[in-house]
Amino acid sequence: MTPAEEDYIKAIYHLGKDGKATVTTNAIAARMETKPSSVTDMIKKLSDKNLIAYKKYKGVSLTESGTLSALSVIRKQYLWEVFLGEKLEVPEEEIANLAEQLKHIKSERLIAKLDAYLGNPRVGFFGASIPHKDGKFKKTVKKLLNGLTPGTKGICVGINDASAAFLKFLEKKGIALGNNILVLEREEFDGSMKIKIDQKEIQISDQIASNLFLEVTEDE
């Protein structure tokens, strides 16, 4: 596929609720910021490659081949986001744009090496689940931080204690909803934990950890 074709099937995948619904040409045109006539031309190209199925007056949907291709593109983008954000510490506002460009690199061998180098991450830099190379996802669950083992990474999605004192403590420590949190260590003696929030390492008590919910991924 050309980079433009990859961009289109990725857009159709997201517009079609993870590739499961039919998408109108007008919706695609709006997403791609182009004219409907340009979308029609691209639809013919994608249909000829058996990446999409077109239904007159209804729109398009991804074929099985198209869905796998879209997930491959998305997988590459999310892996590059992790690399740029966590390894190169590129400013957050630049990561998405750079990853959008890098996702068009064709070398599957390079992507396999990148995945291994990053430790086979299951969650992207911005919190989205990274597809397996076979197109499958790992399921997402919500767990209390104090129940997680070292090496587990997740996104802070909720709190158990909404008291003013606890919220003030979280603000002081720089812990907020949406933070990427990595469990580094857990003390067996008192349950306290060392965690990494984005690029900062802090120590928290078991009481604090028992009041923070993280969204993590698990094997299906």
- Please check whether residue 164 is in contact with residue 120, taking contact to mean a CB–CB distance below 8 angstroms: no
Listed in sequence order, the residues at least 6 apart from 110 whose beta carbon sits closer than 8 Å to its beta carbon are none
Question: What gap in Å lies between CA 9 and CA 67, rounded to an integer?
Answer: 8
Topology annotation, domain 139-218? SH3 type barrels. (2.30.30)
Segments of the chain assigned to CATH 1.10.10.10: 3-62
- Structure pTM? 0.67
For residue range 156-197, what is the model confidence (pLDDT) as tens digits?
888 877 777 888 888 888 888 778 899 999 998 899 999 999
Question: What gap in Å lies between CA 211 and CA 11, rounded to an integer?
Answer: 38
Q: What percent of the chain has pLDDT over 70?
A: 96
CATH 1.10.10.10 is held by the domain 3-62: yes
- Please check whether residue 81 is in contact with residue 125, taking contact to mean a CB–CB distance below 8 angstroms: yes
The pLDDT score that the predictor gives to residue 119 is 87
If one compares 124 and 212, the residue with the highest pLDDT of the two is 212
Segments of the chain assigned to CATH 2.30.30.90: 139-218
- Please check whether residue 33 is in contact with residue 25, taking contact to mean a CB–CB distance below 8 angstroms: no
Token digits for 56?
């007159």
Nearest to 2 by CA among 131, 106, 107, 81: 106
The pLDDT score that the predictor gives to residue 218 is 65
In the predicted model, what is the mean pLDDT of residues 16-34?
Answer: 89
In the predicted model, what is the mean pLDDT of residues 91-101?
Answer: 91
